[in-house]
């Protein structure tokens, strides 16, 4: 930095290119010393800036020389809890664009950053992607500090650590790594921070950008070992188990690492309801997952290669349906599946007012008119519709379900039941071989432990669950539970 205030301001104006939101207010103190307050329009709270910065500076009487003025203002004038020294222009721009006010004093080659953040953001609302019947209605927002507060409110624990840094050489997006230092292993924490530090992204606009950099293999696999949640209570439950959360400024989706396959079938409602009801619900989710993935492919395999497995009455109806449609069963199922995905995408992207129209048109045109016109068969439509409905039961796995269902449809239509068996074996092998931070993706199903199955397919009562401490062991890929 330069010593003269004018040189510093000219250099900063050249760096910002005269941007309209880069504001500089120059003031003269009682001892005729010149200072400047640098802010970014819309990122700072004007009331806090006036009360804690401008008013104290102008109302104070100064007897110090220019060389002593900076330290005197730092220690005696600024009435703000968040004040620190800045010694580089890059830090000045990053902090000002994050809502800090920068105070520059003539004759000093360093500046002060003052926390007066006050940018507008969306209020705290219930997350639409993780609705619950019983539980908190609060969800994460786009503001990083607000999300940190939501976590701290639920975890009043001195072991809870927040560590902030920036990612993105162009966007300088602030992220926060949060964990419980007495639960998460130091090796896992250091590994996550090293992977984030090695991230070479230029722009970070969402938490999903970081997922490939946090994976162990770095390959584009179907399943991921990095979870996403928009609920503070869900994240706090993961932190207690030794997980690590990554909050990205500007997005309400918080990353959780490592993430297990069985966690896709768990929800916060399971732990608010009675154990028997939670167990029934969880079994229904596993059943729905298998149906959504395998049912259309198994239907095609049986119709094409093994029709003798159908009851005689049902076989007659299926045969008549195939005879009255122009396409073979495989192409028919693929066509219906693609139409369904198009309808889903249209309903998802359209405004909510028009989303209901897509459902009505789909039900009338595809469900009734297409069958009446003889374009598709009723049994085929039923198979795809049942699989589609079951896929909504596990929304976290919908992308994986879509890819797997399409793969099973194709392999079932080409190789029959044996093709489905082989593809199932390949999928299981990939799932069992996948790990994140040394934790096997399908833990605790394999390696199997009877005690650790108390919260997988069934959920026992809290009196039994609380007798053992769940904690992720990230060192050698063993069980994620600590006895």
* Distance of alpha carbon 135 from alpha carbon 138, whole angstroms: 9
Q: How far apart are the first and last CA of the chain?
A: 56
**Over 70: is that where the pLDDT of 150 sits?**
yes
Q: Mean per-residue pLDDT for 356-372?
A: 68
Q: Which residue has the higher pLDDT, 398 or 118?
A: 398
**Over 60: is that where the pLDDT of 91 sits?**
yes
Neighbouring-strand partners of residue 229 = 254
pLDDT digits (tens, 9 = 90+) for 178-230: 999 988 999 999 999 999 999 999 999 989 999 989 988 756 678 888 999 99
Q: How many residues does the chain have?
A: 483
pLDDT digits (tens, 9 = 90+) for 275-320: 889 899 999 999 999 999 999 999 999 999 988 888 888 888 888 8
* Distance of alpha carbon 303 from alpha carbon 306, whole angstroms: 6
Token pair 């009043």 in the structure block, residue: 156
Gyration radius of the chain over CA positions: 29
Q: Which residue has the higher pLDDT, 123 or 153?
A: 153
Task: Name the maximum alpha-carbon separation found in the chain.
Answer: 103
* Distance of alpha carbon 441 from alpha carbon 136, whole angstroms: 28
**Over 60: is that where the pLDDT of 476 sits?**
no
pLDDT digits (tens, 9 = 90+) for 243-268: 999 999 989 999 999 999 999 998 88
Sequence spans of domains, the chain? 5-115, 144-259, 276-433
Of residues 284, 289, 234, the one with CA closest to residue 405: 289
- Sequence-ordered alpha helix ranges (H) in 306-393: 312-323, 329-349, 352-361, 370-372, 378-391
Q: Return the ∠ at Cα 251 (arms to 250 and 256), rounded to 5°.
A: 130
**Over 60: is that where the pLDDT of 465 sits?**
yes
Q: What is the mean pLDDT of the chain?
A: 86
472 falls in which pLDDT band (50, 70, 90)?
low
- Strands 244-248 and 254-257, bridge-based pairing: antiparallel
| Residue 112: how many other CB atoms lie within 10 Å | 23
* Distance of alpha carbon 82 from alpha carbon 60, whole angstroms: 20
Structure tokens, 278 = 């939670």
Residue 357: predicted pLDDT: 65
Token pair 């500090």 in the structure block, residue: 145
Task: Tell how far CA 268 is from the center of its chain.
Answer: 17
**Over 60: is that where the pLDDT of 457 sits?**
yes
Residue 439: predicted pLDDT: 87
* Distance of alpha carbon 250 from alpha carbon 167, whole angstroms: 13
Query: Would you call the peptide bond into 151 cis, given omega within 30 degrees of 0 as the criterion?
Result: no
DSSP string, 146-207: HHHHHHHHH---TTEEEEEEEE-TTT-EEEEEEEETTTS-HHHHHHHHHHHHT---S---SG
Classify residue 368 by burial, with Cβ atoms within 10 Å: 0-12, 13-18, 19+.
exposed
Contact in structure between 23 and 40 (CB atoms under 8 Å): yes
Q: Mean per-residue pLDDT for 55-84?
A: 83
DSSP tag of 220: -
**Over 50: is that where the pLDDT of 475 sits?**
no
């Amino acid at each position: 930095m330069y010593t003269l205030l004018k040189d510093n301001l000219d250099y900063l104006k050249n760096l910002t290119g005269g941007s309209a939101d880069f504001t500089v207010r120059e003031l003269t103190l009682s001892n005729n010393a010149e200072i400047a307050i640098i802010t970014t329009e819309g990122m700072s709270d004007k009331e806090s800036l006036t009360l804690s910065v401008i008013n104290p500076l102008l109302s104070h009487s100064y007897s110090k020389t220019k060389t002593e003025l900076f330290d005197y203002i730092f220690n005696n004038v600024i009435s703000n809890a968040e004040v620190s020294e800045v010694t580089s222009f890059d830090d000045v721009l990053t902090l000002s664009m994050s809502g800090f006010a920068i105070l520059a004093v003539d004759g000093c080659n360093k500046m002060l950053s003052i926390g007066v953040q006050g940018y507008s953001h969306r209020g705290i609302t219930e997350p639409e992607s993780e609705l619950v019947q019983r539980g908190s209605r609060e969800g994460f927002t786009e503001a990083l500090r607000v999300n940190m507060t939501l976590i701290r409110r639920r975890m009043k624990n001195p072991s809870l650590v927040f560590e902030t840094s920036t990612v993105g050489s162009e966007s300088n997006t602030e992220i926060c790594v949060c964990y419980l230092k007495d639960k998460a292993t130091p090796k896992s924490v250091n590994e996550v921070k090293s992977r984030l530090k090695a991230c070479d992204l230029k722009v970070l606009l969402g938490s999903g950008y970081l997922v490939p950099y946090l994976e162990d293999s770095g390959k584009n696999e179907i399943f991921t070992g990095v979870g996403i949640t928009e609920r503070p209570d869900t994240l706090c439950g993961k932190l207690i188990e030794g997980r690590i959360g990554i909050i990205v400024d500007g997005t309400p989706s918080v990353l959780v690492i490592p993430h297990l396959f069985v966690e896709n079938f768990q929800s916060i409602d399971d732990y608010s309801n009675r154990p028997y009801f939670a167990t029934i619900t969880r079994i229904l989710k596993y059943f729905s997952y298998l149906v959504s993935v395998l049912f259309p492919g198994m239907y095609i395999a049986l119709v094409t290669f093994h029709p003798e497995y159908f009851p005689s009455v049902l076989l007659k109806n299926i045969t008549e349906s195939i005879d009255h449609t122009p396409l073979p069963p495989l192409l028919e199922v693929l066509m219906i599946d693609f139409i369904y995905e198009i309808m889903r995408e249209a309903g998802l992207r359209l405004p909510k007012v028009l989303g209901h129209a897509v459902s009505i048109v789909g039900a009338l045109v595809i469900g009734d008119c297409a069958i009446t016109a003889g374009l598709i068969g009723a049994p085929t439509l039923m198979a795809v519709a049942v699989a589609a409905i079951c896929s909504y039961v596990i929304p976290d796995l919908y992308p994986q379900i879509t890819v797997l269902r399409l793969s099973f449809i194709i392999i079932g239509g080409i190789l029959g039941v044996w093709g489905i068996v082989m593809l199932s074996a390949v999928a299981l092998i990939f799932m069992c071989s996948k790990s994140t931070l040394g934790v096997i993706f399908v833990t605790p199903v394999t390696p199997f432990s009877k005690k650790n199955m108390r919260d997988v397919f069934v959920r026992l009562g809290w009196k039994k669950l609380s007798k053992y401490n769940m904690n992720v062991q990230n060192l050698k890929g063993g069980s994620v539970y600590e006895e």
